[in-house]
Structure formats: structure tokens, C-alpha cells
Chains A and B, each alone.
Chain A
Amino acid sequence: MIDRSEVLHIARLARLSLEETEIEAITAELSSILDHVDQISSLDLEGVEPTAHSVAQSGALRPDVPVESLGKDAVLSQAPATDGSGFEVPSPGGGS
């Protein structure tokens, strides 16, 4: 159903680093779940529209009126690393 290389590709897309020991287990788990959910492939869905939301059909728009932003202290207070003005992140180019 899903193989090791697909699992690695998906993990990469989702930014999850998998331990070598986990890969086999998660491949098996995903396969068994996909096996089950694949039963919907037997349904005839010809002409059936997808439903993204069940109730409201179109959303109200927001008037273009500014509101107060958060204070900088509140913005930075939960950050793992800051330089006092912004959020510090490791270099995007670093490592590989």
C-alpha cells in the first residue's frame, strides 16, 4: 500500500525526522489504516460534489478597519529564541 520510500518522502514533507527503528512500524501502521480507509474506493462517486463545509456556504467578509496589534513583549514572550526584536531561527542554509 505505502512503501518505505514513500514514508520517507512524506516524513520529509511533514518535517518529521523518523528514527531508523520507527520507519518499519509506521509503514505497517499506515498501510493497515490505508487498507481500511481504501474501502471508499469501491463507492460510485460519479457526479457527487465534494463537501468542504457542511453548514454555511459562503463566508462573510471582514470590513477593512484596523484593530490594535499585540504588544511586542507579548509577541516575543513565548519564543524559544529571540534577539529582543525578532524570532531567532537557525540559518535556512545551514546543515543539509
Chain B
Amino acid sequence: MTEFEAVIGLEIHVQLATQTKMFCGCKPVFGEDPNTRTCPTCLGLPGALPVINEAAVDFGMRLGLALGCSLAERSIFHRKNYFYADSPKGYQISQYDEPLCSEGELAGVRINRVHLEDDAAKLVHTSETGRIHGAESSVVDFNRAGTPLAEIVTEPDLRSAAQAREWLQLLRTTVKALNISDVNMEEGSLRCDANISVRPVGQKELATKTELKNMNSFRFVEKGIEAEIERQRILLESGGTVVQETLHFDPRTGSLTALRSKEEAHDYRYFPDPDLLPVSVDSEMVERARAALPELPAARAVRYAETYGFEQELSERLGFEADLGDLFEAVLEIRGKASDPRLAATWVSGEVFSRVEQDAGSAIEASTLAELLELLEGERITTAAARQVLDRVLAEGGSPADIVASEGLEKVGGGDALAAAVEIAIAAHPEAAAKVTAGEHKALGSRRWWRGAQRNPCSPWRRVGFITWLNNPQRQRFHSQRRWSLC
């Protein structure tokens, strides 16, 4: 039985987050009223002309540099001619044989090129099914038309669907670190097509490939490529031949459908756009782009692993999410050498990250987190209390030390300290204490109280419940079961 291997190359389109479109001054904003972000140029009106956006060139250069590409001193925009309702001019302005960036590498996958082009409009199909076939008519919204795209083309260096997905995720974090795109697959600011072929292991030549489109999440990229590899393998094993075609992956059914047959293969008639002159990149522009490069995710992860001895997962979590990495490093900086990097790392990548998802950097100041970790590391508060303080800080702001003091969260060990803490609690919540004194406290021992206290551990009920609990003969057992804090 012949063993087969898959050969995969990716073509990734990244929408660049510039202030204006690729060739006109319209703002590429999404979710606006249809056709309200358009002008003669991006609508393809008669007589309108394109003018290249300097920020798009700058972003393209940053991307090229980040992927280890060489930058062309002179690059050219071509016209790629094709008719479709999403194409306002009847051609896309794209780079062809003289792209802005070429020959790079990311994590062992060679980059063939990075070039700039303009995005197409959005076609809304009005049929009930929402699918192209069977639709009565469609409506075109040109707001997206002309949005700058960087297209990244890899060499066919990937060998499995899982590897393709992993690599694409690294590419995403790399682009995100550059701060040039939202790189959101669901929203279409990151789009991936795959060229897939399958050949017997040991064969050098590339086999006939197919192009797989429309995979709008990382999961679908993996599933789609997997499905296509499987289809080709079965085809080859049964003595069939692969036909060069473009396929559409339907994530709901997992099925692959041919988009157009080979007789209709496009002839794009590329030629240099006569409305545009070649783009000259001088050393000043290159230096500016280079200066704007942050430390890249892969390099950062390696640095964390080497410097702090973190395992791969933790290193990558911090390295690949620039916001988290930045926060981690800022906290270490504030706390100095004496502090524990792993504590900071796990808090940043765990507690902070889970609370604020992707937005960590903007949600908490490094100094605040450093203060909190200092309290925790100095064993002045318990982990549970630290979590509460973090919740408070994220919701309302304020200083952790102040919150600990005003809420009496400091760790207590029993005896006099405990009694003093109870006195504070009673003084702070006289009404609740009065109810307890009046005998309502029995109700407080119920499960309902306990659930409520869990939901809102800093409530007066929790505090008064504590008094009740002091009278509970089981308290020593409870105490030993969980570390608690005094609210």
C-alpha cells in the first residue's frame, strides 16, 4: 500500500487597518449603512483614478520585514482583469511579478511573497437560502471595496492540516503584534485559502493541486484541509486523478464543492496599471518600517522560555499575545528581581486573561497588578482574596492595598485577630448585626445564604454570616477545608 503525504501552501489575505482605503480617501469602516463609504474611485466611476495609500505601503513593509522578506526598491501594481459583481472596475489592482516583499520565512515555512491589493465589494444574495445558486438577484455594497489587503503567499511547506492551522495561528499573532490589522477570521479581516496536493511519500515532484476557499475560522481551516486531503487520498488510492479546480468547503456539512470548472479557468490578463507609477521604497521608508517592528511573537516566546524556564504553553501564551506579554514584563519591571516571574506569568496568562479575554492590556494597569501580586506574594492576602480584589479593580478601579484595607481582606490567623476582624465587620454592618442579634441568624445558615455568599462574597450578609459561622461548632473543620478570607 502506497503511503501518501499532503503538500499544503497557504494564501492569506490580511485587511490592513489603515485610516483610508488602498487607493482612495474613504474610511474602511464596517457595519456601516451599505454604500455610504464610497467615492468615485472605489465605486469605479468613469474617470476616477487610484492613488496609493502610503500607510498601506508602510504596513506592507512591516509585514514583509516581520516575515523575513526582502523588500523591493521598486514594485509595481498590475491589473488583474475579471468580471464579477463584487469588482467595481472589472479588475483588481494587485501586485504581480514585482511585489513589495518576497522570499521570507516564518517558523520553517517559506514565504514566497507579500503583496498589496484592493479588496472587493460585498455581495449580498437575496435568496431565502442565502446561497449563490438559486438566488433571484443580489445586492452589492461597495463599502468594503478598496480596503487595503496584504496577500501572503507561502511555499508548499506544510504537511498536515493541523500543522497548517498551527502555523496560521502563529501568523495571526505575528500580524497582530505588528498592529496593522484586526486579523479576525470571523469578520474576514484575516482570510485563508489553501493549495493542497497529495503525493506518494518519497516523490519529489508536486502533484496536481486544488485550491480550497472560504474557511472562515481556524477550526474550519483544519477541517477543510483535512477533508480535501482525505478526498484526494481516496481518489488516488482508487486509481483516479486529481483535477485542478477551486473548491468551496461547507463547514456545516463538511462537504467540498467545485466553484467553477476548469474550462472556465481564468485568464486574468495581468498588465501594469497605467494609472499608477512604480512604487519606490527608499531607505528612509524601510528604516521607519523597521523601527515600528515590535519583538515578534515567536522570538518573544523563545525568550520567555529561555529567561524564565517557562514551559512552551506558558511561554507562547505570553509571547503570542502581545498585550499579555507587555503586561507581564511591566509587572516584573515594577516588582523587581525579588519577585517570582512564574507567579506574575500565571496571573497574567490565567486570572487576568480569563477575566478580560483579549483585552488585558487596556483593562488593568501593570502597577495595579504588581501591587496585588506583592500583597499575594507577601502572604498578606489569600489567593481567593486576591481574585476578589482583581474583580473589584477590574469593575471599579482603585488600589488593591486600599481595597484590602477598607474591606478588611487581610489574611487573619484566628484568635485575637479573628475577634478583631469580627468587631470590624459588626461595626461596618450594624443593621445586619442587629438582625443576627434579633435571632434572624438561623436563616443565615441555610444553603441559600451560602450560595448567595458565594455569588457576592463581600456582601453584608456574608459578613454577618461569618458571625453566625463563628458560633458554629463545625467551624474548625470548615476552616481546615478551605482557605478563607474575611469580608
Residues of A within 8 A of B (CB): 13, 15, 52-53, 56-59, 61-67, 69-72, 75-76, 83, 85-94
Contact = CB atoms under 8 A, between A and B. Distances in A.
B138 A62 contact: no
Residue from B51, B135, B137 with most neighbouring chain A CB atoms (10 Å): B137
Given A59-B278, A61-B279, A75-B35, A52 B138 contact: no
A59 B33 CA distance: 34
Nearest to A71: B36
Contacts of B278: 57-59
Interface residues on B, range: 35 or more
B19 A66 contact: yes
18 contacts: A15-B83, A58-B278, A58-B280, A64-B19, A64-B53, A69-B26, A70-B39, A83-B126, A83-B139, A85-B33, A85-B139, A88-B139, A89-B85, A89-B123, A91-B127, A92-B84, A92-B135, A92-B138
Interface string B110-134: 0000000000000111110000111
Interface string B25-41: 11100000111111110
Q: B interface, by DSSP: helix, strand, loop or mixed?
A: loop
Given A53-B277, A62-B25, 13 more contacts: A13-B267, A57-B278, A62-B20, A62-B51, A66-B25, A66-B27, A69-B38, A85-B141, A86-B35, A88-B138, A89-B85, A92-B135, A94-B135
A57 B73 CA distance: 13
Q: List the 6 closest pairs (A to B, CB-CB), nearest first.
A: A67-B25, A59-B277, A64-B55, A61-B54, A86-B139, A58-B280
B138 A91 contact: yes
Contacts of B127: 91
A89 B54 contact: no
Interface stretch (B268-276, B371-379, B467-475): B268-276
Nearest to B73: A58
Given A59-B276, A69-B27, A75-B43, A86 B34 contact: yes
Interface string B53-70: 111110000000000000
Contact of A61 (B19, B52, B83, B138): B52
Residue from B34, B38, B133 with most neighbouring chain A CB atoms (10 Å): B34
A62 B52 contact: yes
Given A53-B274, A94-B135, A13 B20 contact: no
